[in-house]
């Protein structure tokens, strides 16, 4: 069977470019309008994407002056989108630091049932003191502790999702026996972070449990992915870096005793398409021209943990910067940004322009053929199993990708031309349905 | 303006009668089928009900042998139903003991936005050790402590829902200013149970916040309702009891400094309809004949906190029972059941039969006219502002009610004949949109 590319649509209000909301076409209220997201989901489905995805953090970031702030809660929004679509996978971000396993496991099982097996969970540990302070803490838990909790969270969630065997429901009206108590398995978990006694109050869902997705790039993050993740989102700026990340993650997955084919690596790409290369660059420039630089400088200072007023717009970054180890939170993002600035000797203004498009993800401006070529190269050369498509402007950027790039990928045999018969999200990514840890071996593959 | 009756449809898998799943018409998997709930929601909407409602508890109760167990998580299911309906209110049960205010406030705000202002929250403190043990506790918190936490939870949630003024979004593309930071109000709450620093990451929703619903009947429960609730579900067996409850709750609400018109009292009723009274009674008997008595006895012993094997099927309850004060959990339910058994000198078998239908709520078997008469009497005589309709069998019981009882209520001028122009759930219940506690007075009624 031909190896096929996997595509995920990363949806974010008016687009991934921070200035996208200022374009004439954009609706500044889009982030709280269901209709906007329904249109995006149906467009991605028209492009036979595997899945769509919503990022999230349980806090309001910085100033609302800068750009559309806040978002509908992802599991809630994706449930609404489940009823507006038929095939596409629905991946919600949710935090292991600020949820309890019982509630979260149940919500994902419910979404998986309602969507007919299309739920996915982007597992995050949630960096930052702002989030911590919304949940009774004074400061964020240390990086290692967040990952320790995440590991235990997953173990508990997996027990909960397996707490009903697939055939626990009998529905025997004649004898009045609805379910088989011997096929219910309370976790009786007592651990460091969680004690969870009872079985989930939702039967096992079509996929067994949601597709497990992850995006951390730290050592802890990669080891966590190797152990649990079935798909990984990553920010990579160069083919060589992407190849190294890909090889590293596959080998860690094998070392964790799993089939490396069972983890799909999807780098992010911000495609800016034009009918000519010049038009693509002009489209990119229009976006850059809408950036409010005082916001960009403030954000960059915050990200690099520098005092306010340190950065000058038309100078390069200071030569002295804090080491990565001093950064709490998005460490790999920090390093990627500093390396990008140093490698290309970017001024702060140019760096803000580059980040405005992709926040560290690869921005690629070109013709539809050039975008398809870039995707095809990374896919063929051991850098990606697919891509996390992050349009700079929404909905137009996704529509352009689906109308102009997708047909080329299909002609080249890289992408499905239509969805197969009723498949779960996990089947679409070429992954097996997980066995139930409590079921007898002969039932395990049911 | 004529005083109008409010109707809520209390949806519960195959119906409120515990044996309903055994009827030939019932689908034993209904509780995990979205299509089942969509059909119910649309039926209730055809009957111009104000709202529909899902009960919930974060635990799997007892044995799955007895009856359909588990349920889709209510907020998730109601979000899916929001897209399948246009007018009807959507009331989800959620626990103040086993959620965090930030997450829950955000989910309800998201549902309120997605549904166009149709969200309601049935606030519960969640009795029982089973739930507690799913959330890291060894035993349930004491009754008074659960209510103390609930009060603080509400105060925090109200701050979060008000943390964006209604006009905080400017969307000024020209100047690049999206929002007005002076109209964002972080709660900065530090209390006994919660510390929540930041503003919600969702703008203020159409209703400001969900309709606040409550159903506790203990002293703590009634005082909580008087302070916060806008609608109250209650189980009452006689007109006199219902009148006393109604008068008590209205006067507590006035004493709490609120308009007693702003709390709507909805007793539960299990209507069993037949074309003649004899047919209605026969329909009731069919259900009773499907009860598995060994399950009923076990449940009753558990509820009354009696050792296994205490109760005899064809004898009355023992004369010595624990006092209400010894019951942790559903105290008012306990008293109501004991009083019912004593008042009507019911054998355990008959008591189980009566409870199988309504779990303490009024079961009323009769012709459509008789059901409408009962509803009209309670409504006219100071016992109810409306009813929580709890069909014994679903979907058929709701369909019968809508096709046969609703037209009578409409003819009598008690119920709307169609939905008005686009209204929020709160408007439908005749309640004002809440002012934002942080907004200047002149904007408070916007």
Q: Above 80 in pLDDT, residue A82?
A: yes
Q: Is B42 on the interface with A (CB under 8 A)?
A: no
Determine which helix (DSSP H) or strand (DSSP E) holds B356, and give its type and residue range: helix B348-358
For A95-150, the pLDDT digits (tens) are 999 999 999 999 999 999 999 999 999 999 998 899 999 999 999 899 899 999 99
Task: List, for chain B, all residue ranges whose pLDDT scores fall below the cut of 70.
Answer: 1, 328-330, 441-446
Secondary structure class of A230 (helix, strand, coil):
coil
Mind listing the pLDDT tens digit for each residue in B268-297? 999 999 999 999 999 999 999 999 988 889
pLDDT band at A326 (very low <50, low <70, confident <90, very high): confident
| Confidence (pLDDT) at A234 | 96
The pTM is what?
0.95
> How distant, in Å, are the alpha carbons of B13, B320, B431 from that of B44?
15, 44, 21
As a whole number of angstroms, the distance between CA A37 and CA A39 comes to 5
What is the distance between the alpha carbons of residues A98 and A149, in angstroms, rounded to a whole number?
10
> Which of A29, A72, A290 lies nearest to residue B171, judging by beta carbons?
A29
Q: What is the mean pLDDT of residues A16-30?
A: 95
CB-based contact B136 A196, cutoff 8 Å: yes
Q: Tens digit of pLDDT for each residue in A240-299?
A: 999 999 999 999 999 999 999 999 999 999 999 999 999 999 999 999 999 998 888 988
Asked whether the predicted pLDDT for residue A443 surpasses 70, the reply is no
User: Which residue from B194, B127, B112 is spatially nearest to B161, judged by alpha carbons?
Assistant: B112
Q: Which two structure tokens, joined as six digits, stand for B304? A: 């009354």
Q: Is A290 on the interface with B (CB under 8 A)?
A: yes
A78-87 burial by CB neighbour count: b if 16+ within 10 A, else e? bbbbbbbbeb
For residue A247, the tally of other CB atoms under 10 A from its CB is 14
> Which residues in chain A are closer than 8 Å to B297, comparing Cβ atoms?
none
Of B424, B430, B431, B427, the C-alpha closest to B118 is B424
CB < 8 Å from A in window 163-192 of B: 164, 168-169, 171, 173, 176-181, 184
Judge: B180–A65 Cβ closer than 8 Å, yes or no: yes
DSSP-assigned beta bridge partners for residue B213: B122, B231
Structure tokens at B284: 């009731």
* Residue B235 contacts residue B361 (beta carbons within 8 Å): yes
Q: Does A22 touch chain B (CB under 8 A)?
A: yes
B389 and chain A in contact, CB less than 8 A: no
pLDDT at B446: 41
B99 contact residues in A (CB cutoff 8 A): 103
Compare CB distances from B184 to A64, A98, A107 and report the shortest one's residue.
Answer: A64
Q: Does B35 touch chain A (CB under 8 A)?
A: no
Looking at the complex, does the CB of residue B210 fall below 8 Å from at least one CB of chain A?
no
Q: Do B66 and A198 touch (CB under 8 A)?
A: no
Peptide bond before B395: cis, by omega within 30 degrees of 0?
A: yes
List, in sequence order, every residue forming a beta bridge with B120; answer none if it has no partner: B91, B211
- For chain A, what percent of residues have pLDDT higher than 70? 98
Cβ–Cβ of B178/A65 closer than 8 Å?
Answer: yes
In B, which residues are within 8 Å of A195 by CB distance? 133, 136-137
Q: Would the CB atoms of B201 and A58 count as touching at under 8 Å?
A: yes
Distance CA A407, CA A432 (A): 28
Q: Is A152 on the interface with B (CB under 8 A)?
A: no
Alpha helices by DSSP H, listed for A290-421, are: 293-303, 331-343, 348-358, 368-380, 396-400, 406-411
Domain B6-272+360-443 has CATH 3.30.565.10: no
The residues in B 97-116 lying below 8 A from A, measured between CB atoms, are 98-100, 102-103, 106-107, 109-111, 113-114
Query: Quick check: A197 and B34 CB within 8 A?
Result: no
- B360 to each of A148, B196, B280, B316, B331, how far by Cα in Å? 46, 39, 19, 17, 12
> Is B61:B130 a contact under the CB 8 Å cutoff?
yes
Return the residue of A nearest to B24 by Cα: A173
Nearest CA in chain B to A133: B197
Which letter does DSSP use for residue A381 in this model?
Answer: T
Facing residue for B70 by CB, picked from A24, A64, A201 = A201
Cα(A14)–Cα(A31) distance, integer angstroms: 7
Residue extents of the structural domains in chain B: 6-272+360-443
What H or E segment, with its residue span, contains residue A363?
strand A362-366
The Cα B355–Cα B349 span in angstroms is 10
B362-366 vs B264-273, strand pairing mode? parallel
Strands A264-273 and A386-389: parallel
Q: Which residues have CB under 8 Å from A142's CB, separation 6+? A: A328
Is the Cβ pair A136, B57 closer than 8 Å?
no
**What is residue A39's three-state secondary structure?**
helix
pLDDT at A444: 46
What is the separation of C-alpha A146 from the centre of its chain, rounded to a whole number of angstroms? 18
Short-list B266, B237, B251, CA closest to B89: B266
Q: Is the predicted pLDDT of residue A359 greater than 80, yes or no?
A: no
By the CB < 8 Å criterion, does B139 face chain A?
no
B196 reaches A (C-beta below 8 A): yes
- pLDDT at site A446: 41
Contact A252, A258 (CB under 8 A): no
Q: Are B124 and B96 contacting, i.e. CB atoms less than 8 angstroms apart?
A: yes
The per-residue pLDDT for B380 is: 97
- Strand boundaries in A218-341, DSSP class E: 231-234, 264-273
**Nearest chain A alpha carbon to B138:** A195
Q: Using CB atoms, pick whichever of A66, A69, A198 lies closest to residue B133.
A: A198
The answer to whether residue A136 neighbours chain B at the CB level (below 8 Å) is yes
Query: b/e for A194-209, b at 16 or more Cβ within 10 A?
Result: bbbbbbbbbbbbbbbb
For residue B407 the two structure tokens come to 């037209």
Exposure on the CB side of residue A34, measured as CA atoms within 13 A: 21
Q: How far apart are CA A328 and CA A126, in angstroms?
A: 11
CB pairs under 8 A between A and B: 224
Q: How far apart are CA A224 and CA B287, in angstroms?
A: 52
Domain A6-270+366-443 sits in CATH at 3.20.20.30
Query: Would the pLDDT of A445 be above 70?
Result: no
Split at pLDDT 50, 70, 90, the class of A335 is: confident
A29–B64: do the CB atoms touch at under 8 Å? no
Look up residue A169 and give its two tokens.
Answer: 């429901």
Q: Do the chains contact at A181 and B71, CB–CB below 8 Å? A: no
Optimal mutation site among B170, B178, B194, interface A, most CBs of chain A within 10 A: B178
ipTM, 2 decimals? 0.95
Give the Å distances, CA to CA, from A90 to A52, A83, A209, A424, B315: 5, 11, 13, 11, 55
- pLDDT on residue A325: 76
Nearest by CB to B110, from A22, A66, A76: name it: A76
């Amino acid at each position: 069977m031909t190896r096929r590319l996997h595509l995920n649509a990363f949806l974010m209000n008016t687009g991934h470019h921070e200035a996208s909301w200022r374009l004439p076409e954009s609706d500044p209220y889009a982030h709280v309008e269901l209709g906007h997201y329904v249109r995006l989901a149906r467009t991605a489905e028209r492009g036979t994407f595997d899945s769509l995805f919503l990022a999230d953090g349980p806090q309001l970031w910085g100033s609302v002056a800068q750009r559309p702030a806040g978002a509908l809660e992802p599991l809630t929004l994706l449930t609404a989108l489940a009823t507006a679509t038929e095939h596409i996978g629905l991946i919600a971000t949710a935090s292991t630091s600020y949820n309890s396993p019982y509630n979260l496991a149940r919500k994902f099982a419910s979404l998986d049932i309602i969507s007919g097996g299309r739920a996915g969970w982007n597992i995050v540990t949630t960096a930052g003191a702002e989030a911590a302070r919304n949940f009774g803490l004074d400061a964020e838990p240390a990086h290692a502790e967040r990952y320790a909790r995440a590991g235990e969270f997953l173990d508990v969630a997996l027990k909960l999702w397996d707490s009903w065997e697939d055939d626990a429901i009998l529905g025997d009206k004649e004898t009045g026996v609805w379910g088989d108590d011997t096929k219910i398995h309370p976790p009786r978990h007592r651990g460091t972070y969680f004690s969870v006694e009872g079985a989930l109050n939702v039967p096992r869902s079509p996929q067994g449990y949601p597709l497990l997705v992850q995006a951390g790039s730290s050592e802890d993050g990669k080891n966590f992915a190797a152990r649990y993740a079935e798909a990984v989102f990553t920010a990579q700026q160069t083919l060589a870096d992407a190849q190294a990340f890909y090889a590293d993650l596959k080998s860690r997955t094998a070392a964790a005793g799993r089939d490396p084919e069972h983890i799909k690596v999807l780098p992010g790409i911000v495609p800016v398409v034009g009918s000519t290369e010049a038009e693509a660059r002009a489209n990119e420039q229009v976006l850059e021209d809408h950036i409010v630089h005082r916001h960009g400088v403030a954000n960059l200072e915050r990200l690099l943990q520098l005092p306010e007023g340190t950065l000058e717009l038309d100078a390069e970054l200071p030569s002295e910067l804090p080491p990565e180890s001093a950064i709490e939170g998005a460490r790999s993002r920090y390093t990627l940004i500093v390396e990008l600035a140093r490698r290309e000797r970017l001024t702060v203004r140019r760096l803000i322009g580059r980040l405005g498009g992709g926040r560290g993800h690869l921005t690629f401006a070109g013709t539809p053929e050039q975008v398809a070529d870039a995707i095809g190269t990374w896919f063929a050369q051991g850098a990606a199993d697919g891509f996390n498509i992050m349009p700079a402007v929404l909905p137009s950027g996704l529509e352009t990708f689906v109308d102009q790039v997708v047909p080329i990928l299909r002609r080249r045999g890289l992408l499905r031309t239509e969805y197969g018969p009723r498949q779960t999200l996990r089947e679409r990514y070429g992954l097996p349905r997980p066995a139930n840890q409590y079921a007898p071996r002969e039932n395990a593959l049911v």
